[in-house]
Amino acid sequence: MLVRRFGLWIVLAVLVVALSIASPSFRDPFNLQNILEQNSLLGIVACGMTIMMISGGFDLSVGATGATAAVVGASVSTLHLGTTLTVLIALAVGVIIGLVNGYLIARVRINAFVTTFAMSSVVSGLLLVVTESQSITGGTGALQWAATGTLGPLPVVFVVFAICLVAVWVLLTRTKFGHYVYSVGGNAEASHLSGVPVQRVQMLSFALGGFFAAGAGVLLLGQTNVGQPSAAGDWPLQAIAICVVGGVALTGGIGRIEDVLAATLILGVIANGLNQLSVSPYWQPAVTGVVILAAVTLDQVNRRRRRVTARLVPAARSGATATVSAS
């Protein structure tokens, strides 16, 4: 039980110890700080992806959403309207994209893959047309501090990531909406028959996914001071990979946000460790793929064991009851 619950954290600890021994540069505090900073944006995107995947969907347009938020944020910042308004407008764009995805999936009943893949193409295309494929310089001092500053030994962006994790944990485990998300992801039809507003839950889940993707896009703007239309193209698959390694089921209904934190750090540590060991960058995707396959395989094995146990326990109880009655 202990290994099942804290397995990812044990793997993370083993990786950190092994890489610290193998590479003195890996254990340098500045490098460890870089790992936290470099992976926090993907972690924030994964927070939204976790909600969507637990509800039974996923979003391939989070990269386009993040890039759009960065470009919109850069454009608004040039009007000198202040950091708060810049961030709010960029986040609103992300929520709108998420709501459109959710509406098409929940109400029109278009497959999540088709909907979000098409939305990614539409948003990216419009962004390139509007900007004429040119980057937009912008940002504010506050955004730059949030994306690159530090609070003691911790990067501020990692603190933002931690706040997002806590917010999602509270949402999923302490609210009625969170209960609905798990219910809809586990069995949408049964949830509907039980009175759960399935369509609203799905739409809100995708709206939250767009919100977190836009938030990461705003922080990306803070890191680079540039709104790049072609940025964040690898976010969708990387965020899904984090969720899968973290034990979030692609079929919905299963997942814990604390394991998503561990998965984010594991993949970040592996990538950084390979760099520190001067491993060819061509090997890095292969290693990441092996890690994902291993995580999915172990998850499937554990679920089969749980299903077998769930069948055996009632049978054993009924057998014991029959024996007592006969005696």
pLDDT (tens place) for every residue of the chain, 327 residues total: 556 677 788 889 999 999 999 988 999 999 999 999 999 999 999 999 999 999 999 999 999 999 999 999 999 999 988 999 999 999 999 999 999 999 999 999 999 999 999 999 999 999 999 999 899 999 899 999 999 999 989 999 999 999 999 999 999 999 999 999 999 999 999 999 999 999 999 999 999 999 999 999 999 999 999 999 989 989 999 999 999 999 898 889 999 999 999 999 999 999 999 889 888 888 878 887 887 788 778 777 776 776 676 666 565 565 655 555 555
Residue closest to 76 by CA, chosen among 92, 58, 54: 92
Question: 176-186 and 29-54 are packed helices; what angle lies between their axes, rounded to 10 degrees?
Answer: 70
**Rounded distance, CA 216 to CA 63, Å?**
10
Is residue 210 within 8 A of residue 52, CB to CB? The reply is: no
Q: Which residues pair with 227 in a beta bridge?
A: 136
270-290 burial, b at 16+ Cβ within 10 Å, e below that, comes to bbbbbebeeeeeeeeeeebee
Q: How far is CA 219 from CA 38, 158, 161, 170, 213, in A?
A: 11, 11, 11, 23, 10
Contacts of residue 41, defined as CB under 8 A and 6 or more positions apart, other chains included, come to 157, 216, 219, 220, 223
The 8-class DSSP code of residue 253 comes to S
Is residue 155 within 8 A of residue 40, CB to CB? The reply is: yes
Region label for 255, one of left (φ > 0), alpha (ψ between -120 and 50) or beta (otherwise): left
Global confidence as pTM:
0.91
Contacts of residue 140, defined as CB under 8 A and 6 or more positions apart, other chains included, come to 77, 82, 83, 86, 222
